[in-house]
Structure 1
């Protein structure tokens, strides 16, 4: 438990081949089902303060209460995902903390000295997220995510599906 951010709710992995990653997680680790979004539509996305037209696919599943996110960036727009691939290869890129009071958490992080690496919004103002630079922990970054809107309800659906998953229908297309 972080006194600043709360509990870790998600581990995010940057991958080069999301289909292969989902296959590994579902068949080898037996984590699933994954909810796969082939083309994420961001309202806006900024990398180090500048607009960036990131195109990405994501897949979400739960292992107990911990959500697993797989991310494959589909273009070369600037992002912390590409920075991670360049500097570290595939792997655990971020730990995410969720909040229903996003702005207060965002402001506390900035006041504590964290710097935004990239941020964006998906599905309206209650779908904001920010990734912070973490020089004290090379590689893995900290994300905060607003779950006060539809994203929170979707995340609950992902968690519920994993609770009694029997291995059937391992990848569920969203959108």
Structure 2
């Protein structure tokens, strides 16, 4: 068995900017790069076509990336599976792992009884998936292949943390 280290911890929140500011105040994390209305070229929720409009804030906390994510559109999703729409609840949603092949990993997790709650393709072609491990682990597991653009993004976030927050805790970023 291959050990897959956790690359990121993600929290579902109502407001990514406010959550990032609170986390920074408590733990010194950041700075945070915020992407609004992240474009998805394709999205399947539990195997069916779906719409997902979300915003995320990405920052560094020690050796680990932190993501705060909010869903901007109503309706079912891997986020609302754990935090029902209108409940006002927030909390840890997933940890992210790098895998060699997202679809092969989805099949391997399914063979172990863990359903794919979300499979999506970003506007830049990055494939990612959310594996439902809530019953056994209390959270989802997100899978990505470590493409050069993804590992470069992780490196940029880590480098920004080493440089410090300065006057800009929240910084805009786009993924299109």
Q: TM-score range by the shorter chain?
A: 0.7 to 0.9
TM-score (norm 1): 0.87
Cα deviation, 1:72-95, whole Å, max 9, x if unaligned, reads 100113211112222892011111
2:106–2:116 contact (8 Å) kept in structure 1? no
Give the ranges of 4+ consecutive aligned residues of structure 1 lying more than 6 Å apart after TM superposition.
none
Aligned length: 171
1:54–1:75 contact (8 Å) kept in structure 2? yes
C-alpha distance in structure 2 between counterparts of 1:13 and 1:23, whole Å:
13
- Give structure 2 stretches of 5+ with no counterpart: none
1:22–1:34 contact (8 Å) kept in structure 2? yes
- Give structure 1 stretches of 5+ with no counterpart: none
Once the two structures are TM-superposed, the CA of residue 161 in structure 1 deviates from its matched residue by: 0.9
Pair 1:102-2:102 in alignment:
yes
Cα deviation, 1:37-75, whole Å, max 9, x if unaligned, reads 011001111111111111110010111221101001001
SS class of match (1:39): coil
Aligned twin of 1:39: 37
TM-score (norm 2): 0.86
The CA RMSD over aligned residues, in Å, is 2.1
Cα deviation, 1:96-143, whole Å, max 9, x if unaligned, reads 111344344334333333210112011444x111111112123x1111
C-alpha distance in structure 2 between counterparts of 1:164 and 1:99, whole Å:
29
Aligned twin of 1:79: 77
Pair 1:141-2:144 in alignment:
no
SS class of match (1:163): helix
1:21–1:70 contact (8 Å) kept in structure 2? yes
C-alpha distance in structure 2 between counterparts of 1:131 and 1:98, whole Å:
12
Question: Alpha carbons of 1:76 and 1:158: their partners in 2 closer, same or farther (altered >3 Å)?
Answer: same
